Amino acid sequence: MHTDYKYEPAHDSGYGNSEKRAFEFIDYLRARWRLIATACVSAVILSFSVSLLLPKRYTATASIVIEPPAGNDVRTATAVSPVYLESLRSYERFAASDTLFAGAVEHFHLASVENARSIESLKQQVLKVTKLRDTKILEISATLPEPGLAQQFVNYVADETVKLSRGESAVADREIIGEAERLASEAQQRLDRAQEAFVANSAREPIGAMQPAIEADVDLLEKIDQSLMDTRADIAEYQQKAEFASQLPGMRARAAELEKRAVDLERSIEAKSAQASRRSAERQRLDAEVKMAQTASESLAARLRDLRATAGTRGERLRVIDPGIVPQRPSSPNVLLNVFAALLLTVIALGAYLTVSFSYQRRREA
């Protein structure tokens, strides 16, 4: 039993009254020390007992490092910007995937162990995924009733996260390589068509034999022109001599025939030259198309080879650096934390109750 506390009203004012009320409140608390002690001890015993009765749960943690793409320059690999590190948080979605978690639940038969709760509720209770700030470390934690099961579960999730990331990278590589293969195939087809057109044009319109024919016609035209000049000279000479007058008609006829042959030959040379120029221009155009198609085909083929050689190295690579260990101590319930919280709440509640009780008693006795 605590001794009764009798309030004696104070007649002083100011600081003296406040100091006196403080001492009176301390005396009031001292008089009820058994109540305070009993409440605190009861709170400690009750919280300790409840904590021991609560089911134990163990937390295992695995760590994954997110390495930069293998094709990156080693000198720039260390110069990682905060923006890049923040972008790596997207890999939390791999480890926290509902599909991956559902597969892990089925693999370890957790639906029966955890009383068949929904996947969403179960994931909130079991799985925690965090990308550590300003690092390339992805941390995965699993909380389960059995320590060995927790370690196996988190190790499974970490391994599946790495496989899922590699699978996504492989899908992206297949899409890129598939598009490159399509472009390379189209370029090769264009090259084949250009080469076929070039060969067909060479067979249909050869220009190798036209130049000698043109040169032969030019030589013949020169000879005809020379004969025409000689004939005209003879006609001019015979016109001055009466004894050759009978030969002039024949010589004039020959000169007219030579003129006609020269004109026809000039026209033929012009036509053949124009045809040769047209065929040469067409041949040059087709040859340019073949060269352009060949350059494009070789460029796309080289790009395809590079893509195949660097497949799997363009994206970040995930690697398990710490599969975690079997937890030795339960993560919950935290007995010390629960006892401290219960004790703190009890002290706060007692302080509030005794303060109100002290004020009420002072007013009643005033």
Element at 54 (helix H, strand E): none
Asked whether 78 and 161 are in contact (CB, 8 A), the reply is no
CA distance 87 to 73: 19
CA 209 → CA 77, 198, 253, distances in Å? Answer: 65, 17, 35
| Structure confidence at residue 243 as a pLDDT band (50, 70, 90) | low
The first and second tokens of residue 175, run together, are 């899409």
3-class SS of residue 20: helix
**In a shared domain, residues 301 and 338:** no
The first and second tokens of residue 47, run together, are 């919280």
Residue 19 maps to a domain:
yes
**In a shared domain, residues 170 and 92:** yes
What local confidence, expressed as pLDDT, does residue 192 receive? 93
- 60-109 pLDDT, tens digit per residue, is 999 999 988 765 554 444 456 788 888 888 888 888 888 899 899 988 88
Residue 185 maps to a domain:
no
CA distance 157 to 176: 28
CA distance 6 to 216: 147
What local confidence, expressed as pLDDT, does residue 253 receive? 84
CA distance 138 to 128: 11
Number of neighbours of residue 184 by Cβ within 10 angstroms: 21
What local confidence, expressed as pLDDT, does residue 1 receive? 40
**In a shared domain, residues 41 and 84:** no
CA distance 101 to 211: 80
Residue 65 maps to a domain:
yes
Asked whether 305 and 11 are in contact (CB, 8 A), the reply is no
DSSP 162: H
CATH number, domain of 91, equals 3.30.70.1130
The first and second tokens of residue 316, run together, are 């970040």
Number of structural domains (the chain) is: 3
Number of alpha carbons in the 13 Å side-chain half-sphere of residue 118: 3
Q: Dmax over Cα atoms in the chain, in whole Å?
A: 181
Asked whether 109 and 165 are in contact (CB, 8 A), the reply is no
Residue 113 maps to a domain:
yes
Tell me the average pLDDT of the chain.
81
Query: Which residue's entry shows tokens 């101590």?
Result: 329
**In a shared domain, residues 97 and 157:** yes
| Structure confidence at residue 174 as a pLDDT band (50, 70, 90) | confident
Asked whether 56 and 330 are in contact (CB, 8 A), the reply is yes
Residue 6 has pLDDT above 60, yes or no: no
**In a shared domain, residues 88 and 163:** yes
| Structure confidence at residue 10 as a pLDDT band (50, 70, 90) | very low
The first and second tokens of residue 22, run together, are 């403080």
Residue 43 maps to a domain:
yes
**In a shared domain, residues 116 and 79:** yes
Mean pLDDT of 216-233: 81
**In a shared domain, residues 274 and 361:** no
Residue 9 has pLDDT above 70, yes or no: no
| Structure confidence at residue 2 as a pLDDT band (50, 70, 90) | very low
C-alpha closest to that of 362 among 55, 6, 62: 6
DSSP 332: B
**In a shared domain, residues 135 and 148:** yes
**In a shared domain, residues 172 and 62:** yes
**In a shared domain, residues 120 and 219:** no
**In a shared domain, residues 170 and 64:** yes
| Structure confidence at residue 130 as a pLDDT band (50, 70, 90) | very high
Residue 215 maps to a domain:
yes
Mean pLDDT of 111-117: 56
Residue 186 maps to a domain:
no
Percent of the chain exceeding pLDDT 70 equals: 86
Residue 196 maps to a domain:
no
3-class SS of residue 57: strand
**In a shared domain, residues 70 and 145:** yes
Asked whether 212 and 335 are in contact (CB, 8 A), the reply is no
The first and second tokens of residue 256, run together, are 């007219």
Asked whether 320 and 139 are in contact (CB, 8 A), the reply is no
Residues composing the chain: 366
The pTM of this model reads 0.57
Query: Which residue's entry shows tokens 């025409």?
Result: 228
36: containing domain: 15-54+333-365
| Structure confidence at residue 181 as a pLDDT band (50, 70, 90) | very high
